[in-house]
Structure 1
Amino acid sequence: MKKIFLPILLIPICFAANGQDNKNTATTDTAVIVKHVQVEKDFVPTIEKVERADFSLSFTEPEVKKSDVTYSDSTKQLETVSPFNPLAPNSLTMMERARYKKGYFRGAIGFPLTWIVDFWYPIWDDNTYYLDAHVNHYGIKSNLQKLINTDIGFDFSKNFRKDQLYASINFKNSYYSYYGTDSVNNTDLFFYDVNQQKIRGDSLLPFDQMLIEAEAAFGFRSTQARKGWNYDANVVYNLFASRFAQEHQVAINGGFSKELGGFPLSVDVNTNTFFYNTAKFPFITDTAANWKPQSVIALAPKYEMQWNSLKLRVGAKMRFSINKGQLFTISPDIEIAYSFRTIFNVYGGVGGDYGINSMASTFYQNRYFCPTDQLKENTYTPFDFYAGFKVKPVVGLMIDGAVSYKMIANQQFFYNKPYDCITTPHLWPLSASEKVYSNLFTADFLKSTLLNASVGISYNLQERYLFFVKGLYNGWNVMEGEKIAWNKPTWEATAGINTKITQNLLIKSIFYFASERQTKLPTRDGAYCIEKLKPIYDLNLAASYTFPKNWSVFLEANNILSASEKLSYQNWYGYDTVGFSILLGASVAF
């Protein structure tokens, strides 16, 4: 296996090297390449977006734009972000207070026991060197529910005349409990048949989990064109470890861009390779439980043309997957857009996607995924047809709409993992068994299509009030199995108001709705029944007040409606949300 993966790691280096040129010839060039590093050092103490509660905290005050080193996402290969949608809702520009070039500290505590400690500081910041440090720590703790997250990191860059060297190092830790209800009896009086082994109930399921992630990245890119060439290359190593297994990811990313015929031609290439330590499960010795090593090579050429208000992009996204999933996949990358002044914008195109289902990306999607399972396929979307519009009929008002239709070869849907409970343990392995469900999750991979349609309206009134509402339809069509999209809502909606009461006092509210979702649970005879999860009604309020000397206080109330038992809900079956919570804190810029 090592003989296979070593040459794979070396391939993108050849592509990245083509973009380098040590000569100092100054050449004007309009070619554009996506930059992986964006350093923004200004501090804006204002209310951040209040997200709907999902056993995690939303951050209210302040909003800080830190240096952000962004690399190829481990769950998506060369995802193309459209540059052809220039219109955006009018923001409350007057609500932005004075900007500060130094760091900040924020702390908060709430009920039920909730806390935040947040720190960021630019240690070294001049025209040549930049270095910053950040610490983010937050947690929730009650009798059963526990979630404690820590994030510590450093970002560095050095500017040359036409190039930039950049690097980052980051450490994350997440501790949480499996507090969801289930039909498993976790006592020494019950036994379960797992892979033809007799397992005692108190050894079957973990009670908590610890996830550790460490990442180091190093890259070099052009900041000005060299003989018409722009380039970017970086190497990233990511370690992701649970209590039972470890994942090692090595990503090598390269890209270059050059003007051809008056328009930019660009090519991106990357390799994501994953290795795994032998899993150490408490009762599973079968090596089939181990995640399989894999490598995915992705190549994405594209040519972008523009004539006044008309833009056209033509490209493709190709992937070679070794040891997991289909060997070769390809998707188009075509988009056309037309803009009329700053009033109207319409666009449409066809694309695709290839999502790498690694151990890290799986736990990002569902932290309660069973640690002894694995996702054995990557998610391939051959075609994604989409179109949309944005229009500003009057000052301050914007209306937007979009529709898309995805054809997905193997979409994953999470559901509660079943187990075989031995009915007469003393007769095992000849004993009969009955099915029960756990508070851990596994997944089905099913051929599906997804029709999305959305409409949104936002209105900025006199730079003091911002109103917005948006609705989304998710039309899943599952072509296999029970033909139901487990844990997927059909309707979603978001609405909110941002209000500037005085120059220093800001108030924000946001409401999120999701319709009923369905999941499947095993019955004793081995069949499945369908259970419905209640709709989500999530209302959040936040307020902040800034004092003259660069410090502020904030108050946040989350998931207010769940104080009523009728309006409480679960994000995953068996897992009640934290419910109504309140958070009080202060921040200071220095």
Structure 2
Amino acid sequence: MKRNHYIFLGMALVALPSLAQVQPQSKDTTMNRTVVVEQEYNPIILDASKVNVLPKVEEPVVNKKEVEYAISSTPASNIPVGTMQAYTGKEVQPTSKPGYVRAGYGNYGNLDLLGNYLFHLSSRDKLNVNFSMDGMNGTLDMPYGDARKWDAHYYRTRAAIDYLHQFGKIDLSVAGHFGLNNFNYEPYGFSFKKQKFTSGDLHFGVKSTDETMPLQFNAETNLMLYDRQHNQFFGGVNETQIRTKAIVSGNISDEQQISIAFKMNNLIYNNKRDFYNEEIKSIFKSRTVVDLNPYYELNNDDWRLHLGANVDFSFGNGKSFRVSPDVTIQYVFSDSYVVYANATGGRQLNDLRRLETYNPYSDPSNEVRDTYEQLNATLGFKASPVTGLWFNLFAGYQNLKDDLYQIENSWIGGTGGNFIDLRQTSTNNIYAGLSASYTYKDLFTLSGEGIYRHWKASDAYTDNVSSPNYNPALWMKPETELNFKAEIHPIPALWLNIGYQYIWRAERYYGFSKTFFPAVSDLNIGATYHLFKGVSVYAKADNLLNKKFQRYLLYPTEGINFLGGLSFRF
């Protein structure tokens, strides 16, 4: 019994200090609690002079301190209401090698050279240097039973320097480009046979990069020079072009934007021989063209709207004023199905650069006007019913004013010669097609497209009474076009590809020789294999079916041809 009294007395003495402190303090909360923790840690190392013996370390002694609580309250308004944001590390993409070199060679003298290097001068400055050369030099068979051979060659050389400086809110770009084409005409061509195109341009541009600015802009100006060494009538021709482009955009809301795009081309033509200036200017007319494109855009989860118009002015060449639509409407449902309608158009500037891509062997003898796409309207449906599969079903109508076409002509007098002339007329076509692609993981990708076009053009020709009517404006127009491509990646180091192209011309009858144009039928394959880090070997082959067809009017293409080489990344 006496023992129990001692126990109760001890418990009371222990509780007294706690009661004394609890009585005056306010309610303990996480909003007004201040905890002071002091810790002393000062180990004393003994016998440190004995470097070959681990010294003894005394256990740290921690002095106990009394916990003190704050007795003043803190208003809730002083506490930030925002929650702590989750930490997100800065994503760093693996940097690719700045240098790339490729070199290949094959039959028909096929050559493939490419070099590119990107200099990171600083975090804000980049300089890219590029050089390429490709072409062929071999003997080709002339079409339509001509027994003569054509010792053909065509080499393209390109060089470019592009500089980019990133200011805080604006990017500045400065660039210079050079191009050289060396080739010869077919045996029936002109006496000079060889031709050379030389081009160069200087570029200056500025672009806004701060999305918080009320207006976004992108502007550039380009000085572009082009020289054709020969012309069948008047010697060479020079083209000087100043191209200015700008676009300004402003957001109405997070989903809406209005923009206006401006493009102006000033073209000046002259001749190396001053006394032919007037003649050459009757074919290539100096002119100024201005294209305006105001539009409105809406982008949300369901709708994609682009509503605008192309307003085009021309001073000195063809019709002075034209208007065409610039409208795109897309409706997205179930995340992977899209119904869309497009109505577009606009000017296709027929400068010397475009004529080179259209047909480098052509040599116009009449005035060349700019082509104008009055309307290209499409209605379509895109869908992705399963992962990796996309298809696009579409149909439409296209109308072109002053559409270019190729025709054979002859120059009588002097040494004479045949040449490919250019003419222009109005054309239109109704088209329908289907394109599809399927990708399975990283193993393979299959893609294909088929398009059928029904063409109409004015001014049909009749060769003679027994010959059918034919229209040279449709000689090189595609009526049926099929394209297929497969890319296979069976093992990490190997890439394979196979492709096929088929083009059936809208007009197949060639009245001059009373024959028919063959369809384009081109089967090609390619492969790339990584030998080791940074080094790959590649090979490709074209026209494996050894078909005789023409990419350009009356100019033959290579038979079975192949090319192989090495590529390096560094």
TM-score by length of 2: 0.74
* Alignment correspondent of 1:100: 96
Q: Deviations over 1:314-353 (max 9, x none)?
A: 1111011000011111111122101124421121021212
CA distance in 2, matches of 1:360, 1:140: 21
* Alignment correspondent of 2:398: 406
* Alignment correspondent of 1:161: 168
Greater relative contact order (CA < 8 Å, ≥ 6 in sequence): 1
Is 1:379–1:411's contact at 8 Å kept on the other side of the alignment? yes
Query: Could you say if the C-alpha distance between residues 286 and 379 of structure 1 is closer, same or farther in structure 2, counting changes exceeding 3 Å?
Result: closer
CA distance in 2, matches of 1:255, 1:573: 39
Query: Could you say if the C-alpha distance between residues 285 and 408 of structure 1 is closer, same or farther in structure 2, counting changes exceeding 3 Å?
Result: closer
| Cα displacement (A) at 1:444 | 2.3
RMSD between superposed Cα atoms in Å: 2.6
* Alignment correspondent of 1:317: 310
Is 1:233–1:255's contact at 8 Å kept on the other side of the alignment? yes
| Cα displacement (A) at 1:521 | 6.4
3-state DSSP class of the match of 1:100?
coil
CA distance in 2, matches of 1:409, 1:581: 38
Aligned counterpart in structure 1 of residue 238 of structure 2, from 234, 246, 256? 246
* Alignment correspondent of 2:35: none
Within a 5 Å distance, the mapping from 1:223-302 to structure 2 comes to: 223-225=209-211, 227-243=213-229, 244-260=236-252, 263-280=256-273, 286-287=279-280, 289-302=282-295
Aligned counterpart in structure 2 of residue 551 of structure 1, from 529, 532, 535? 535
3-state DSSP class of the match of 2:507?
strand
2:421 maps to 1:459: no
* Alignment correspondent of 1:568: 548
CA distance in 2, matches of 1:461, 1:522: 49
* Alignment correspondent of 2:478: 489
Amino acid across the alignment from 2:388: G
| Cα displacement (A) at 1:399 | 1.5
* Alignment correspondent of 2:324: 331
* Alignment correspondent of 2:564: 584
Query: Could you say if the C-alpha distance between residues 226 and 479 of structure 1 is closer, same or farther in structure 2, counting changes exceeding 3 Å?
Result: same
CA distance in 2, matches of 1:395, 1:287: 58
3-state DSSP class of the match of 2:225?
strand
Q: Quick check: which has more Rg, 1 or 2?
A: 2
Within a 5 Å distance, the mapping from 1:26-45 to structure 2 comes to: none
Aligned counterpart in structure 1 of residue 136 of structure 2, from 111, 135, 140? 140
CA distance in 2, matches of 1:155, 1:407: 38
Pick which of 531-540 and 292-301 moved more.
531-540
Is 2:179–2:198's contact at 8 Å kept on the other side of the alignment? yes
Gaps of 5+ in 1: 1-97, 185-203, 426-435, 524-528
Q: Deviations over 1:418-462 (max 9, x none)?
A: 34479xx9xxxxxxxxxx982x21122112212222112222234
2:203 maps to 1:217: yes
Is 1:416–1:437's contact at 8 Å kept on the other side of the alignment? no
CA distance in 1, matches of 2:276, 2:247: 46
CA distance in 1, matches of 2:303, 2:181: 47
3-state DSSP class of the match of 2:545?
helix
CA distance in 2, matches of 1:269, 1:256: 9
Total equivalences in the alignment: 450
Q: Deviations over 1:529-581 (max 9, x none)?
A: 7642101110111111113321100111111111xxxx221223331102211
Query: Could you say if the C-alpha distance between residues 340 and 261 of structure 1 is closer, same or farther in structure 2, counting changes exceeding 3 Å?
Result: same
CA distance in 2, matches of 1:115, 1:557: 13
Query: Could you say if the C-alpha distance between residues 496 and 504 of structure 1 is closer, same or farther in structure 2, counting changes exceeding 3 Å?
Result: same
Pick which of 228-237 and 139-148 moved more.
139-148
| Cα displacement (A) at 1:468 | 2.2
| Cα displacement (A) at 1:136 | 0.5
Is 1:347–1:387's contact at 8 Å kept on the other side of the alignment? yes
Gaps of 5+ in 2: 1-93, 140-150, 230-235, 462-470
Identity in percent: 21
TM-score by length of 1: 0.72
CA distance in 1, matches of 2:277, 2:192: 13
2:522 maps to 1:538: yes
* Alignment correspondent of 1:30: none
CA distance in 2, matches of 1:266, 1:349: 18
3-state DSSP class of the match of 1:362?
helix
Q: Deviations over 1:48-97 (max 9, x none)?
A: xxxxxxxxxxxxxxxxxxxxxxxxxxxxxxxxxxxxxxxxxxxxxxxxxx
3-state DSSP class of the match of 2:558?
coil
CA distance in 1, matches of 2:285, 2:100: 43
Amino acid across the alignment from 2:565: G
CA distance in 2, matches of 1:217, 1:366: 26
Is 2:239–2:267's contact at 8 Å kept on the other side of the alignment? yes
CA distance in 2, matches of 1:459, 1:338: 23
CA distance in 2, matches of 1:290, 1:570: 27
CA distance in 2, matches of 1:289, 1:532: 34
* Alignment correspondent of 1:475: 454
3-state DSSP class of the match of 1:277?
strand
